Structure 1
């Protein structure tokens, strides 16, 4: 593991550098303070559930099949394949969303409703072994999806086409393997309702890759802002029906919200919901867990994107950019250049315009809206150490 960390550390320094302009002391200190605060909250959460989040991820990346893939890491680094950055993020998680831990905390907050044999749960934490399986499954699904999104589009004129294609095969096999294992683990729970709900979240993940406009490398591009921005609400979907896209594209806040529900919010929401179904709670309690998970995921994403806009590379569909387009649609002229080639986009210009506009403040407001909604859900549960930890996680965002 140490050698693997050193390898990715070297890769991160050489291949994915941040421009000097945006790595000044003030930004670095801000990030360091934020990570220390967040790390402290996560450590406290691990004590509460009796299950280190790092163990969830080690179960994913350190097994025989994945170790075989990682043996090709050196070659991937040399070809600068996108899979390298994904693997690096898995090893150096920092502020990556620890969804498995959230599922366990939500399970502990709600407790057990039915009568369970002592062999079915951990007496020290009152968390079912099946709920721990859900926590592992969500990490596997999330990681498998990240692997699949690491594929690089190529054609016959691409430089080193055979090497890039080799990296694509690894990313595809890696993702398929993890998704297959997660499906197998879900099947072993022998709960059809939970299996259906979480499978629908996997469908949402797939749909997120076909939502809205895309550049040639399948990176998302915002839709052209509509002349009149509407306040479109995305309803909760407690069942397995697909989310509706009507009146969303072109309405910047609604488009951002639906995209992130599809690619992360639905997964956390439905795994929290499924975990409480396993604990035999009445129908309305798993629904509360769904609402909590969805809002926490959206608040978390908005928080991450506010920081990432200051870095060298950032997403053109991040909250600061999307919310700025509500105020200044003229910026879309620069953004839509990415439809033909991402390299044509002047990211420095977009960053400068967004940071001098209302996008950052609106992102803060959006994060607060979703954070408050998640906190309101927790008010329905009794006070406990696990509830306090969840509150602290939300406040640390």
Structure 2
């Protein structure tokens, strides 16, 4: 056996062991009874722990979603890339942080989008006309729906990996950018490999409408990177506040691209647009697509889209509030909801934002943090999170009672504690 082949086998075994350790740490043992009628109301009276809600939900769909992508993660192609990825250890390339955050952000299992797609699949059920071979009767979902859940996770992962590319300037000495350039190449290859696998998986499903739907979600992810102004490192900056603009809800159901210009300058409209494109579209269209595979009507599919979109926006609103919690010194994005709402309230702070045109490091983040803590931004963000949470619950409550529906309700409740 060659040394190269031996290294690949060792790498796969180490990766599998790491996944098992991680999932065993996230697993919280608890008996789950689908016949417990009180369980349907649990989210109204409790705030379930995020990891606990995810762990219980994983039991419902058959196995931990952490293993959804294990098949492609341990392929020969990724094993070869991982050998090169080890060379980045010790460098400051953001790809390593991205890889860590994809699985665990320090507190929570973040690989939950495939899980949500599978829970929606089980909660809504499927047409009885589908052949038995297509059904995973033990878990209550279709094999094609499991494949779509994998595609969802792969698209999301590839997008986050691609976002970790560093924009290197021509005037920087080559000896100072060697690690960054190498990391960019690896990130580009990994992201492209995952997207290529998505195309292959979707092709196997032989559903042209589903391919068009998921392709539009990938298009939205790309368009999200071109919304509003950016600094020289391609970090997003909020548009100049326009207090006179009236907020118009986005008509984003369907395959047509969203209008960008009408939303820029209005805090809620711009924030919604950015995150519908970068998150809500993918999760919403994945939920819509899984209902399409189950044979549901277009009206039901549309409700699936709305559920996924509102859940993603509620999730993002909670994440945006985290860096402003008492005592927190975490970095934050200049296009997060609290900052954008505060800019709408006090446009004079935009002078500080403009300092980041050349480099966002020129911005006084602590000054912005203090201003946000003293303004209405956090309360408005919390209100935004509640609106989207309630909208997702309204859609969810249209489904018949089941353990899958209860698990989704618990996840929505647990988002408040992220």
Structure-2 change in CA distance of 1:4 and 1:122 (3 Å): closer
**Which position in structure 1 is the counterpart of 2:294?**
279
Structure 1 position 35, deviation (Å): 11
Aligned residue among 389, 394, 397 for 1:371: 389
Structure 1 position 322, deviation (Å): 1.0
Aligned residue among 46, 66, 70 for 2:82: 70
- Does residue 1:320 correspond to 2:338, yes or no? yes
Aligned residue among 393, 401, 414 for 1:383: 401
In the alignment, the residues of structure 2 paired with residue 47 and residue 263 of structure 1 have an alpha-carbon distance, to the nearest angstrom, of 29
1:287-326 counterparts in 2 under 5 A?
A: 287-309=302-324, 310-326=328-344
In the alignment, the residues of structure 2 paired with residue 327 and residue 6 of structure 1 have an alpha-carbon distance, to the nearest angstrom, of 50
- Does residue 1:202 correspond to 2:218, yes or no? yes
Is the 8 Å Cα contact of residues 114 and 280 (structure 1) preserved in structure 2? no
1:107-186 counterparts in 2 under 5 A?
A: 107-159=121-173, 160-186=176-202
**Which position in structure 2 is the counterpart of 1:11?**
none
Give the secondary structure class of the aligned counterpart of 1:108: helix
Is the 8 Å Cα contact of residues 152 and 168 (structure 1) preserved in structure 2? yes
Structure-2 change in CA distance of 1:350 and 1:61 (3 Å): farther
Structure-2 change in CA distance of 1:182 and 1:6 (3 Å): closer
In the alignment, the residues of structure 2 paired with residue 186 and residue 311 of structure 1 have an alpha-carbon distance, to the nearest angstrom, of 42
- Tell me the alpha carbon deviations over residues 217-260 of structure 1, each in whole angstroms, 9 at most, x when there is no partner: 111100010132422211132x2111112420001110000000
Structure 1 position 75, deviation (Å): 2.7
Q: How many residues align?
A: 370
- Does residue 1:354 correspond to 2:372, yes or no? yes
Gaps of 5+ in 2: 1-11, 19-45
In the alignment, the residues of structure 1 paired with residue 412 and residue 103 of structure 2 have an alpha-carbon distance, to the nearest angstrom, of 23
Is the 8 Å Cα contact of residues 261 and 298 (structure 1) preserved in structure 2? yes
Is the 8 Å Cα contact of residues 103 and 111 (structure 2) preserved in structure 1? no
- Tell me the alpha carbon deviations over residues 188-234 of structure 1, each in whole angstroms, 9 at most, x when there is no partner: 10000011001100000000011111111111100010132422211
Name the TM-score, length of structure 1 as normaliser.
Answer: 0.88
In the alignment, the residues of structure 1 paired with residue 387 and residue 13 of structure 2 have an alpha-carbon distance, to the nearest angstrom, of 41
Name the TM-score, length of structure 2 as normaliser.
Answer: 0.84
Is the 8 Å Cα contact of residues 114 and 279 (structure 1) preserved in structure 2? no
Gaps of 5+ in 1: 8-33
- Tell me the alpha carbon deviations over residues 147-173 of structure 1, each in whole angstroms, 9 at most, x when there is no partner: 111110112332522321111111111
Structure-2 change in CA distance of 1:258 and 1:67 (3 Å): same
**Which position in structure 2 is the counterpart of 1:217?**
233
**Which position in structure 2 is the counterpart of 1:25?**
none
- Tell me the alpha carbon deviations over residues 168-195 of structure 1, each in whole angstroms, 9 at most, x when there is no partner: 1111111000000001100110000011
In the alignment, the residues of structure 2 paired with residue 102 and residue 351 of structure 1 have an alpha-carbon distance, to the nearest angstrom, of 33
